[in-house]
Chain A
Amino acid sequence: MATSPQHPVAGGTREPQPPPPKEYRFSEQAIAELEEIASHYPERKAACLPALWIAQREYGGYLTPAAIQEVADRVGLSYAEVEGVATFYTMYNLRPRGRHHLEVCTCLTCAIKGAYDVVHKLEHELGIEVGETTPDGAFTLSEVECLDFCGAATVMQVGDKYFTNLTPDNVMELIETLRNSDDYTPAKLADAIVKIHIPGTSRTGGGSYKP
């Protein structure tokens, strides 16, 4: 088979790309954050995952080939190594996402508590299928594997927040609230995760993250 089957949950494969341009976009603050995080480990390359989170924030919520190249150069790895990491983990976005990435958990407990009904309701109401983004760029819908809050099934992650006890009846109310907000974007999730790595951020505030 020429094309490899692509699983419908978040992440997935990307078409082969030409070599990326070397055009760095990390801000001074981002570089300072990366240096702080890199000092936590005996080896600089251990900062690869956090650096990808920084890149995901700096590049507007997803990793372009240029972003992967920049991470590779900054942590001292090859492009291939960093791309290998970026494609392994599902939370690194390799394609642009909508302002709100709706990640519905459809794993065991959520499935038996009606997660597929929630997914179908969202597909129907938003007019998109799993894996697609609405034409206005407001929502991307994904299925994800266990988010581990099974007691509150069905669970949906949007940005850095879990929304719980969802049913087909109450999910659209949430969607309407999200539609006009900017609170849970993929870039803000990345920012929150970067901040958690850095000592002392709980005193100075979590950047865009509001605990």
Chain B
Amino acid sequence: MAILNLLFEHRDVPNIEEIDVYEQHGGYAGLRRAILLERQAVVDEIKTSGLRGRGGAGFPTWIKWNGLPKNYDKPHYVICNADEGEPGTYKDRELMLKLAHLLVEGMIIAGYATYSKKGYIYIRGEYVEPAWQVRKAIDQAYEKGYLGKNILGVEGFDYDLYIHLGAGSYECGEESALMSSLMGERGNPRLKAPHAPLPVVEGVWKAPTLINNVETYCAATWILAHSGAEYAKYGTEKSKGSKIMSVSGHIARPANYEIELGTPLMELIEIAGGVTGGQLKAVIPGGSSVQIVPAEQCPNVNLDYESCQANGTLLGSGGFMVLNDKTDIVLLMKRTAEFYMHESCGKCTPCREGTRWMYKILDRITSGGGQPGDIDLLLDICGQIDGRSYCGLGDAAAWPIVAAIKRFRPEFEYWIEHKRSPVGPGHVPPTPEVLNPLLTLTPA
């Protein structure tokens, strides 16, 4: 178990973003194979592969694909969630920059399998360069007849693909908020199952909607080009195939690495060249929303959905942050809390108010005004957000803080007692000057 370049197989081929080069390397073979199959057989292929959503939740992909009505009576939509916003993750960026055709092909296959006529790729507004490559890929696919009317001669298979850019909102990476944003509204989440129908029943414009991550569509392309059984040969019993991990932080060679699911965490650190600037202190394996793993626990963790969960963390979106022993966990958590405070959409009270209080208390602690009860107060606030917010953003704001307190409690206590960093001078991140006095509580 180590590097497994399935999606990245042709990443380094020169000009792979051009359709001719992509076709020479087996491009659009997946679509050509898909249209020879019954639509249900395409879904079954995904089922055989055991592919799970790569956006963070790990939901079995085939259940979504299978859930849409199997006819053209009413419009259905296919949406790609390319609103990559999770701190630490940049896999979709590279997929779109270099392998935009893999994504476009995957979305055409999804359109075929789900009887859809229109697909939308929702890309975050900052990603101008990747979005431009997707634009180019779509335009080239139209020229070659992979998009448009009666695709590849299949009677009645009409499919159009559009790009919709966001305008700077982490919240829009949440699927119901993304659909709000696509409909031209503020990116607020909507009520979800079991209180409201799933997107496959009632999604965007109240129509059945399939919504998946960039990496999931790319993997679907690979699965159709090879086969579901081939994909299922890789990975562990419940986590099949490969996952792209975006390695960043205190590491010698930060980059996207496609690994086989189940690869030991320590092996990925080794592949990426090892920790720089000191000893390993902790790893955040799946983006800022997941629980931090202290160094002593790292050897127990394998990078698959089950092993991560068993070790009290999540694989998430694959934003793998390596932290060395100069890192001040309290300051890092304050920065995390600031992120969620800024990105909370403001719709529901627990998240809107709770994320602010979390930040205020952490800011108080790291400004030298921490009080003895602050740690328990933080845990209390986190407990009141987790599970009580409208969407996952509230949970995601609470989890990392709770885990950091649980696993690095002495550091929080040190800050409160000594009013300075336990790491000492030269700690990272450096304490920023107080940027906004309004948000700082007066030290008691």
Contact = CB atoms under 8 A, between A and B. Distances in A.
Interface in A156-211: 157, 160-162, 189, 192-193, 195-197, 199-203, 206, 209, 211
Interface string B180-209: 011111110000000000000000010000
B125 A91 contact: yes
Contact of A146 (B86, B185, B432): B86
Interface residues of B, number: 75
Given A91-B167, A162-B129, A196-B128, A109 B321 contact: yes
B72 interface: no
A115 B439 CA distance: 21
Interface in B256-294: 256, 284, 288
A206 B432 CA distance: 39
Contacts of A88: 169, 186-187, 345
B247 A151 contact: yes
A73 interface: no
A59 interface: no
A111 interface: yes
25 contacts: A1-B438, A7-B342, A8-B435, A42-B205, A49-B184, A89-B125, A92-B168, A108-B336, A109-B248, A109-B321, A111-B428, A112-B323, A116-B429, A146-B86, A146-B87, A146-B288, A148-B84, A148-B124, A150-B87, A150-B88, A150-B246, A150-B321, A151-B254, A160-B128, A199-B139
Interface in B382-425: none
A202 B134 CA distance: 10
A157 B135 contact: no
Contact of B135 (A5, A114, A145, A201): A201
A174 B84 CA distance: 27
A8 B120 CA distance: 33
Tell me which of A81, A84, A146, A209 has the highest count of chain B C-beta atoms within 10 A of its own C-beta. Answer: A146
Contact of B183 (A46, A52, A106, A148): A46
Most buried by B among A6, A40, A77, A153: A40
A89 B167 contact: yes
A149 B132 contact: no
A11 interface: yes
Nearest to A92: B167
Interface of B: 75, 84-90, 93, 120, 124-129, 131-136, 138-140, 142, 160, 162-170, 181-187, 205, 246-250, 254-256, 284, 288, 319, 321, 323, 327, 332, 335-336, 339, 341-343, 345, 428-430, 432-433, 435-436, 438-439
A109 B186 contact: no
Nearest to B187: A88
A91 B243 CA distance: 31
A85 interface: yes
A130 B88 CA distance: 23
Q: B142, B185, B323 — which one has the most chain A CB atoms within 10 A of its CB? A: B185
Nearest to A48: B184
Given A88-B186, A106-B335, 20 more contacts: A1-B438, A6-B436, A41-B183, A43-B184, A89-B167, A108-B284, A112-B429, A120-B433, A145-B342, A145-B343, A147-B126, A151-B254, A192-B132, A193-B125, A196-B128, A197-B162, A197-B163, A197-B164, A199-B139, A211-B133
Given A47-B184, A88-B186, A206-B132, A10 B168 contact: yes
Given A53-B167, A151-B248, A116 B430 contact: yes
B336 to A, nearest CB: 6
A33 interface: no
Given A43-B183, A150-B248, A199 B138 contact: yes
Contacts of A75: 184
A111 B326 CA distance: 13
Given A85-B185, A196-B165, A201-B135, A148 B125 contact: no
Contact of B342 (A9, A45, A47, A77): A9
B128 A209 contact: yes
A114 B250 CA distance: 11
A183 B430 CA distance: 33
A90 interface: yes
A47 B165 CA distance: 11
Contacts of A5: 436, 438-439
Nearest to B133: A211
Nearest to A109: B248
A45 B164 CA distance: 13
A34 interface: no
Nearest to B83: A148
Contacts of A151: 90, 246-248, 254-256
Contact of B205 (A43, A113, A200): A43
Contacts of A45: 183-184
Interface string A63-90: 0000000000001010001001100111
